[in-house]
Amino acid sequence: MKLNIYLSGEIHTNWRENIMQGCEAEKLDVSFSAPVTDHGASDDCGVAILGAEDKKFWHDNKGAKMNAIRTRKGIEDADVVVVRFGEKYKQWNAAFDAGYAAALGKSIIVIHSDDHQHALKEVDAAALAVCESASQVVDVFKYVLTSQLPS
């Protein structure tokens, strides 16, 4: 069994690298995809390629649609969608991805601190695992793929 994993959500810490390195260290049969995590490029891609806009709304609209080409491909090809909610920002795109994945019947793993527990109860209720750290996510994949629990 091999798992295709999409890493959605917060882009300001290195949690994706932690999961990827942890899985590599365990030699797990996984492949990863993720959104563009360069915040500036992600915000400006639409106008940079397709032409400038006077209004912020359309500036953002062109960018969000271009990013959707990658995001939807990533989610639709995934067996598991991991969504991390960080400490800052509204992060509505993370919750949107979680809802999108849930409607497609994907297995969902959520990562968040205890502070966000009540506000994320609907997202957590759609998840198969709720974690607090990237290392727990690695442990989940190790168990799912090898039957081995952390020692």
Footprint (CB under 8 A) of a copy of itself, residues 82-111: 85, 89-105, 107, 109
Of 107-136, binders to a copy of itself (CB under 8 A) are: 107, 109, 116-131, 136
Distance CA 55, CA 58 (A): 6
Question: Least Å distance between CB 21 and a copy of itself?
Answer: 18
Q: Which residue among 13, 14, 113, 148 contacts a copy of itself (CB under 8 A)?
A: 148
Find where tokens 């806009």 sit.
Answer: 53
Question: Least Å distance between CB 148 and a copy of itself?
Answer: 7
Q: Does 56 bind a copy of itself (CB under 8 A)?
A: yes
Question: Least Å distance between CB 135 and a copy of itself?
Answer: 10
First CA to last CA across the chain, in angstroms?
A: 22
Q: Which residue among 58, 111, 113, 134 contacts a copy of itself (CB under 8 A)?
A: 58
Structure tokens at 44: 């400006």
Binding mask 8-47 for a copy of itself (x = CB under 8 A): -------------------------x--xxx--xx-xxx-
